[in-house]
Each structure stands twice: as C-alpha cells, then as structure tokens.
Amino acid sequence: MCGIIGVTGLSDPLAAVLEGLELLEYRGYDSAGIVGVEASGQALWRVRAAEHGGSIDRLRAEADGGPGPLRACLGHTRWATHGAPSEENAHPHLDCSGRVAVVHNGIIENHRELAAELDRSGHKRTSATDTEILAHLVEAEIDAGADLAEAVRRCLLVLRGDFAVALVHAAEPDLIVAARRTSPLVVGTTASAGVVASDVAAALSTTRQLYALEDDQVAEVAPGRLLVRDLEGRRVEPARIDVAWSVERALKGGYPDFMSKEIHEQPRAAADTLLGRVSPGGATEIEELGLDEEELRATRRVLLVGCGSSYHACLVARHALERWAAVPAEAEIASELRYREPVLAEGTLAIAVSQSGETVDSLHAMREARRRGARVLALTNVVDSVMAREADGVLYTRAGPEVGVASTKSHVAQLVMLEAFALHLARARGTLREGEPGRLAGELLGLAASIGRVLEREEDYLSLGRRFSASENFYYLGRRLGLPVAMEGALKLKELAYVRAEAYPAGEMKHGPISLIEPGAVVVVVATRTPLWEKVMANVEEMRARGATVLGVADEGDEETARLLDGVLVVPPTSELVSPVVCVVPLQCFAYAVARARGNDVDRPRNLAKVVTVE
C-alpha cells in the first residue's frame, strides 16, 4: 500500500529518496512521485508518474535530466483509494502557491466537509484525492502566521481518520515535518541528515538510529535536529526502535522472483521461529509474550483475529488451542470484529495475527478487543511494528522480510508460531497427558525438514499447475484442518493467477454450490489421511460424478487416494494438527505455476498491496 520516504541533508537527498522508493515498491503501488525543495529555497521541484510497474523508472529518468541541487526531498508510492490511479492524483500534492507539498498514507475521513470549506474560501484543488486537502489546510495556517510544524499540528486537530503524512515547505528548505495517527512512521537524524519513512527498510541507508512516532505526534526532522511534539505542542521523547536486520536480506538471491525465493525460505522460517522456544523434550519459552504462567492459566477464551492469509492461520490455530490447551477458541476476520459489538467475557485473550503488524483492520480489531477488556497479543513478523508496540505481549515470527505480495513464508511461520503458543498454553494449563508435550514438540520441530521434503517435489507441483493453467473455475475443498488449507490455496490462486477459485467446506458443497459443478470444473481437495479421509473421499466422488476433474493433496505412499484422484500433490505424512504447514506449500507452488504460465507478475499482482493500511 502507500509508502513514504523523506530525506533531508546528505549530498544527494534525491538519490536517497529514489533508493527508498525502490525499497517501498514491494508494498504494491499504482503511481509514484517525488518533490524536493530547490537549493535556492524559493520553489519546489516535483515529478509524478502512473505507469504500472514502471513509475519509479520514470521518476529516475526525470531525476537524471532534472533538477539542480535539492534540499529536503519527499517520495511516495500510491495505492489508489480516493481518486483513480493517475498522474494528477499521484502524490506529492501541492497547495495553491506551489510552496507546500504533502505525501500521505491512509485516509482523511472528513475530507469532503474540509474540501467544501476550502472551496468556499477560494482554494483551487487539482486532484480527486483526500490528501490534497491537507496541503491547502497547511497553506491557510501558514498564511495565518504559523511555521510548517505548527501548521501541521493545528491541522491534525481537525483531521479524522488514520494516516501518516510528511510535508515540506519552500521557505524552510531543510525541514521535513511528519505526523501520524495509526499508520506507522519512523523518523531519524544524524548530524548531516534526517529521514522519515513508512518502512524501516527505506530509512536504513540514511541512519539506523530510528524512532517510531506515536499517534498524534508531530516531528520536525532536519540535519542535526529531531523535535517531536504532541497535539498540545508539548515536547515528547520519541520511542527508539531496535533494527536487527539488514536490507540485503530482502534481495532475490538468484531466484527469478521474490515469491519463489520466499517459498524456498520456508524450512528456515519454520526452524527460526521455533528456535529457543520449543525444545525437543517439550519445554516451551516465549520471550516477548508478556504473560506469566498464572496469567496464562487464567485464560478462559482465545479470540484470534486477522485478515487474508493471517486469518487462515487463525483458523488453524483454533483447532490446536482447543485440542491441546482445552480452551474455547474462535477465529474472526478482523474487519468484521470491530463493527459487530463483540461481548468479550473476562479472561479473554485476543491474538491479532498480522505479518506486517500494520494492517489497519487488524490493528483496530486489536484495539477494540482491548477496549472491551481482553488482554491482547500481536503475532507479527515485523519487530516494533505498530501492533507489536501497542499489544500487551508479542509473538514474533522469524520469517525475515517478505517482499512478494502473496504471503508464503510468513504464513507458514504464523502457523508454526501459533502452534508453539498453543503448546505453551497447554503446558501452563496442564491439559496434556504425560509424554504429550515431548511428542508435540517433536512434531513441530520436524516441520522444517518436512517442508524441505515437500520442496524436493516442487517440479511435480509446478507441472501440475502448468497443466491446468488454462482452467477458469477452481473449487478448493477441505474438512477440519484441511479447510483453512483449502482457503489459503484458493486465495493464492485468486490473487496470483486472477482465476475464480472458491474455497468451501467439502461437506457443505451439496447444500448449494454443487450445482456449479460441471465438466471443466477443477476441484482441488485436501485429501491427506485424517480421521475424516473417508468422508472427504465421498465428497470427491460427488464432484467426479458431475464431471469435475479432481486434484488433491495426498500423503506420500497413499496409492489408494492417488487412484481416486486425477492428479496428486504429494506431501510427507504428518499428524493432522501440524499438517497445514506442509499441505499449504504445494498449493502455493501450484498457484505460482498457473500465474507464471498466464504471464502474471507473481511478486506484484494487480490491484493488490502488500501492506493494507486502509479500512
């Protein structure tokens, strides 16, 4: 989703902004732009582009032939919400005088009423965005005598919504002013430079001494100067963040795209996530959890929330929590929880699952759960992300930076971490039989090797995908633990291959959707040997009887299942509760192959953003 990078100072801040934009690309964007204060301090230089996949190259070309020396510079990648993805709606946006520029992530909810007031007082707007409003509001405050930081602070008092913004003003050429509400923003300075960014990765080449702005804080960033104030104008100390990884980890490393690299990193993601947390004898320890054994024992109910693949991980975790820890557990889509007035009984532990730790729906669901009295944990892959900072405790996955828009290794790491937590909770609650903690720990610790064995068969999955790449109607079916796997498989196919793929509980098909099945339909079923295998295979027969081609994920050596299917995605046998971790991998590869055969960009599928920072 939208990304912000601002650099001031340095000999070439424009080059640093271009580099930052490239690091922000993975979030997904449809247009991009840059503004810089000309060294004379009299004017702004701005360039914008809206070319799918090529906007940053265009900016670079313009910059090469472009401006003279610049002082403070801002860059932005936009994912359209208000106003079509076009050059005129691309950020940065300017005020009427062309001397104030703003970049923005998020949504200004009361933009219509603010725009009407601005129109009445004679401001001329040139875009259909909510963002441009802020440039004009700031202009009005500057005309009334405020400097840039004070103008932004005053404007924040009237804005509603979730946002992060960064602004420059030609009259204060080395200064960037940044502010946020909900959407993340980090700031940092050295003696010779200052940086503002929506992503830590984009800021790292300027400095590793970074600070996370809190809600409703306004920062003045200039070389040798970092001043942060709250909405009342009082000085506050920003929170320092600890950056433990480097940008190099986010390069392709010889793979054709990030997605295939990240699929291959899954054994490592699983192993790293369990490291030091689950030991072979069954002992567990989760360092940043923030809940002691007594608090864990007091848990009466677990509520898991997330979006997309993270929600699917919640659906799997529900089973592990109920079976191992004997605690009622529910999974809910984050964007639904917030608006249904949930009743959270005492002793509810809410776990918000989010790779990015930024997804605004999940963040709001987490806040809502806390407001209603739950203890909240964030399960995230991003250290110091907004959700990690706000939660009572954190379950960090250790998948490393995930660049491909489709979740792969982060999803697997979520599954593994949630199951490790279920084991931890079960031990604290004393709900496991003797010897069980050791057995379950062994199963979890064996997962990295099992994924490795799955990946040895990668070519089989890819060739099956290529064989079915022209099909237009897919149905993904599963039961119990197989259902979230089917849902994840279907999501991968939809988002990457742009093909209709409906996921359904296998037993529910005959209650309606079976009327869609006819020759040409492709059914993908999770058919590993669980206690429900016979029932799943009965459902398979119902599909075949109506002319569908049925493919399935099946256990290695299970000839009987292979005979009953038209194509198999073989996986090493695992116990049912941990099986989603291995079963999902062939479905990722299958979707990848269909998408590649159709000529799609697997790292940056159309219309999608890696980080969804709007509701």
**What residue ranges bind ligand M6R (CB under 6 A)?**
307-310, 354-356, 359, 362, 405-407, 491, 495, 612
Beta strands in 39-175 (DSSP E): 44-49, 70-78, 93-94, 100-108, 161-169
Residue 239 half-sphere exposure, CB side, CA atoms within 13 Å? 15
Q: What is the CA radius of gyration of the chain?
A: 25
Residue with smaller CB distance to ligand M6R, 96 or 333: 333
Q: Residue 388 CB, nearest distance to ligand M6R (Å)?
A: 12
Q: How many CA atoms lie within 13 A of 22 on its CB side?
A: 14
The count of C-alpha atoms lying within 13 angstroms of the C-alpha of 119, restricted to the half-sphere facing its C-beta, is: 9
The active-site residue out of 2, 73, 583, 589 is 2
Tokens found for residue 165:
């913004």
Least Å distance between CB 386 and ligand M6R? 11
- In the complex, what is the shortest distance from the CB of residue 359 to ligand M6R, in angstroms, rounded to a whole number? 3
Of 406 and 569, which has the nearer Cβ to ligand M6R? 406
How many whole angstroms separate alpha carbon 447 and alpha carbon 455? 12
Nearest to 71 by CA among 194, 211, 197: 194
Instruction: Give the Cα separation of 422 and 427 in Å (integer).
Output: 9
Determine the number of helices (DSSP H) and then strands (DSSP E) in the chain: 21, 24
Q: What is the DSSP letter of 188?
A: E
- When the beta carbons of 114 and 491 are compared against ligand M6R, the nearer one is 491
Task: Assign 122 to helix, strand or coil.
Answer: coil
CA angle 451, 453, 455 (to 5 degrees): 70
Where is 210: in which H helix or E strand? strand 210-212
Shortest distance, position 390 Cβ to ligand M6R, whole Å: 14
- Classify residue 172 by its DSSP letter: S
Minimum distance from CB of 259 to ligand M6R (Å)?
Answer: 10
Distance of CA 287 to the CA centre of its chain: 23
Q: How far apart are CA 268 and CA 413, in angstroms?
A: 9
Complex with ligand M6R: residue 564 or 587, whichever CB lies closer:
587
Cα angle 349-355-357, degrees, rounded to a multiple of 5: 65
Least distance from ligand M6R to the Cβ atom of residue 357, Å: 7
Pick 258 or 324: Cβ nearer ligand M6R: 258
Nearest distance in Å: CB 435, ligand M6R: 35
Instruction: Please give the backbone phi and psi of residue 229, each rounded to the nearest 5 degrees, phi first.
Output: -130, 155
Question: C-beta of 5: minimal distance to ligand M6R in Å?
Answer: 20
Dihedral Cα 424, 425, 428, 431, nearest 10 deg: -110
Considering the complex, what minimum distance in angstroms separates the CB of residue 481 from ligand M6R? 19
Closest separation between CB of residue 610 and ligand M6R, Å? 7
Tokens encoding 36: 């810089």
Give 282 or 404: the residue with its C-beta nearer to ligand M6R.
404
- Residues 218 and 228: their CA atoms lie apart, in Å, by 6
Nearer to ligand M6R, 376 or 564 (CB): 376
Q: Catalytic: 510? A: no
C-alpha span between 1 and 411 (Å, rounded): 19
For residues 395 and 286, what is the distance between their CA atoms, to the nearest angstrom?
7
Find the residue with minimal CB distance to ligand M6R: 308
Contact status, residue 165 vs residue 180, Cβ threshold 8 Å: yes
Task: State which residue, 4 or 445, has the beta carbon closest to ligand M6R.
Answer: 4
**Is 77 or 561 the residue whose CB approaches ligand M6R more closely?**
77
Known catalytic residue at 610: yes
Q: Which one is catalytic: 409, 492, 494, 610?
A: 610
CA-to-CA separations, 361 to 306, 329, 352, 355, 613, in angstroms, rounded: 8, 20, 10, 13, 8
Burial class of 518 by CB neighbour count within 10 A (0 to 12, 13 to 18, 19+): exposed
User: By C-alpha distance, which of 196, 164, 198, 211 is closest to 356?
Assistant: 198
Q: 449: part of which helix (H) or strand (E)?
A: helix 447-456
Which CB atom, from 491 or from 537, has the smaller least distance to ligand M6R? 491
Question: Which residues are annotated as catalytic?
Answer: 2, 610
